[in-house]
Amino acid sequence: MSLERQFAQFLVGRQILKFGDFTLKDGSGSPFFLDFGALSTGKAFNQVGDFFRARIEETVGFSNVDFLYGPPYKATVLAAATAMRFQERELPCLFTRKEAKKHGEGGTQYGHAPQPGERYLLLDDVMSSGGTKVEALESLPKQHCLGVVVGVDRRHRSEGKTAAQLFTEQTEVPVVSLITLEALVSQCEHLVDEKKHRAMKEFLHR
């Protein structure tokens, strides 16, 4: 069974793929939503970590990676879960806060202390407009991002190109997804009921 098929089953089985009337970050409506915040058990964390690890191993690889970066909020779990499932060596994780902590250790970063010139992978749940990914890269100006790895590429388009393509043109950082929205819709044909699947297809082709 392909990784895409397994991951689609995981998204449905773990109720990460939700159906209803949702408003996306850009203000548009959607009949479904990808909620990686639904992950809440050790087994689920192990599973998602295995999926990300496998996708990284077959694409950008881990050999040149000094640390994983999981920006706030849901990506912190994805980075930690992936690092835990990588057994070849200890793989540090960097996390950041949206607002600086004003007590204790203070600052916006915790976990791994990145050094100038270190290389990292940025992990996140979905690729939508790509704006938050650009902000994440800008927060680490002295380090080099080898790639952005996301669970689902929603394939948002502008001027005939996807957000992932535009992001890579702007930053020279490749984007890898475990599954694209087109592939997810295709894989869900027999995983969700016909009405929900039809709504997904209509959203994809609108």
Tell me how far apart the alpha carbons of residues 198 and 133 are, in angstroms, rounded to a whole number. Answer: 31
Active-site residue among 43, 98, 102, 103? 103
103 has catalytic annotation: yes
Do residues 108 and 100 make contact, with C-beta atoms less than 8 angstroms apart? yes
C-alpha to C-alpha distance for 63 and 57, rounded to whole angstroms = 9
User: Per-residue DSSP letters for 17-40?
Assistant: EEEEEEE-TTS-EEEEEE-GGG--
Pairing outcome for strands 119-127 and 67-70: parallel
Which of 25, 101, 161, 195 is catalytic? The answer is: 101
Distance CA 150, CA 176 (A): 6
- In sequence order, what are the beta bridge partners of 70? 95
3-state secondary structure of 197: helix
98 is a catalytic site residue: no
Residues 98 and 72: beta-carbon distance below 8 Å: yes
Judge residue 97's burial from the number of C-beta atoms within 10 Å of its C-beta, 0-12 exposed, 13-18 middle, 19 or more buried.
Answer: middle
For the annotated catalytic residues, the residue numbers are: 101, 103
